[in-house]
Amino acid sequence: MRYRPLGRTGVQVSALSLGAMNFGANGRTTQENASAILDAALEVGIDTRPSIADASLRRR
C-alpha cells in the first residue's frame, strides 16, 4: 500500500481509504458483511480512520 502525507499535518494516510456510509444502523450492509469488508481492508493496509472528517486534521 502506498501512503501519502495528508496536507501539512504530518499524518500519513493510505492512497486508498474505505468509505463506510453504508455501515451501521442507517446502512444497507449487514454486520457480518461490514466486519468482513473492514477486516479485508485492514489486512491490505487500507486506511480506515475518519481522518478527512476529523477537524483536528483539517488544513488551517
Residue-wise pLDDT tens digits, 24-46: 777 788 889 989 998 998 899 88
Give the residue with greater pLDDT, 21 vs 41.
41
Residue type, 60: R
Strands (E), 1-60: 3-5, 12-14
Q: In the predicted model, is pLDDT for residue 58 greater than 70?
A: no
> How much is the pTM?
0.61
Mean pLDDT of 17-28: 79
The SS3 call for residue 46 is coil
pLDDT range class, residue 50, cuts 50, 70, 90: low
- Sign of the CA dihedral with 16 first, then 34, 58, and 8 last: negative
pLDDT at position 32: 92
